[in-house]
Chain A
Amino acid sequence: MKKQLDKELEHLRFTKQRNVIDQISKPTWKQRLNSLWHKEIEIPLLPVAAVGMLIVLLASLTFADNEISYTTRDSKETIKIGGNVYWKEDYEKLVKKYEN
């Protein structure tokens, strides 16, 4: 019976070897993610350093151009109320405002 079966089925040949190879060499999403995570990248030191320095320089120039305004006060007298310290001038102004 085995011989007969072998004879009957001898024309059946497996032909999808290439498909198998293609499928096993195709990376899974996990492998892809892993390879992306472990991807080696080269950062050229000189250009990156140059760009970094340029950014710092530009930022410092931008801030240098801005005028910083300070409020000037006539008196530097302070007043202590309820454990808090206020400028006397401001305090009086506020009190006056609420009294009116």
Chain B
Amino acid sequence: MHLVERLKQKEEEAYFEVMDAYGDYLLRTAFLLLKDYQLAEDTVQDTFVMAFKKLDQLEDEEKLKSWLTTILLNRCRSQMRKWNWKVLLAPLDLIERTKADNQALNPENALLFSEWHESISTSIQQLDYKYREVITLFYFNEMKIKDIALFTNTNENTVKSKLKRARLLLKEILPEGSIDI
């Protein structure tokens, strides 16, 4: 039986198969977009819960991965909106939390953190959300411009110009000659 059919039959094993197949991929996408591991994992969890509850809305069974990605992108956008409100309403609280997080780094983590800081993923995370999203979808999710336009509900020209701008910004952030964009 097809995996989606098994999901519709509420087979627990099928749920695990889907999560094993796409969980890491969705988590990495969410992490690039949200810049927070815990938040990314919660968002992926919500994505799976929503997807499994609304399986009837999946039109083409072959497009399970892209359907999950669409749900994830919407969840990430909604998280970002929430986050923006949080920053606006409680900036002091956030600053305190960030400070506490930084203080919690032990020497080993600090070394990893400094290496991490020079990575491409961190550079992508330094971009604004609108650029981060197109860059992530284009390079990490390997989507075509046409698909990105569809996923982000914009037109292809907008995606192209955002991508161009995002590449320029990324070049400025990344050390010279570190990677070809």
Contacts and interface: CB of A to CB of B under 8 A. Distances in A.
A1 to B, nearest CB: 5
A24 B49 CA distance: 6
A14 B41 contact: yes
Interface residues of A, number: 17
A39 interface: no
A61 B14 CA distance: 66
A16 B45 contact: yes
Contacts of B131: none
A13 interface: yes
Interface residues of B, number: 32
Contacts of A9: 28, 31-32, 121, 140
Interface string A1-42: 110110011001111110111011000000000000000000
B44 interface: yes
A93 B181 CA distance: 117
A13 B27 contact: yes
Contacts of B41: 14-16
Interface of A: 1-2, 4-5, 8-9, 12-17, 19-21, 23-24
24 contacts: A1-B180, A2-B140, A5-B28, A8-B119, A8-B121, A9-B31, A9-B32, A9-B140, A12-B28, A12-B37, A13-B24, A14-B19, A14-B26, A14-B44, A16-B44, A17-B15, A17-B16, A17-B23, A20-B15, A20-B52, A21-B16, A23-B49, A24-B49, A24-B53
Given A12-B40, A24-B49, 11 more contacts: A1-B120, A2-B139, A5-B28, A9-B32, A12-B28, A13-B24, A14-B23, A16-B41, A17-B16, A20-B48, A21-B15
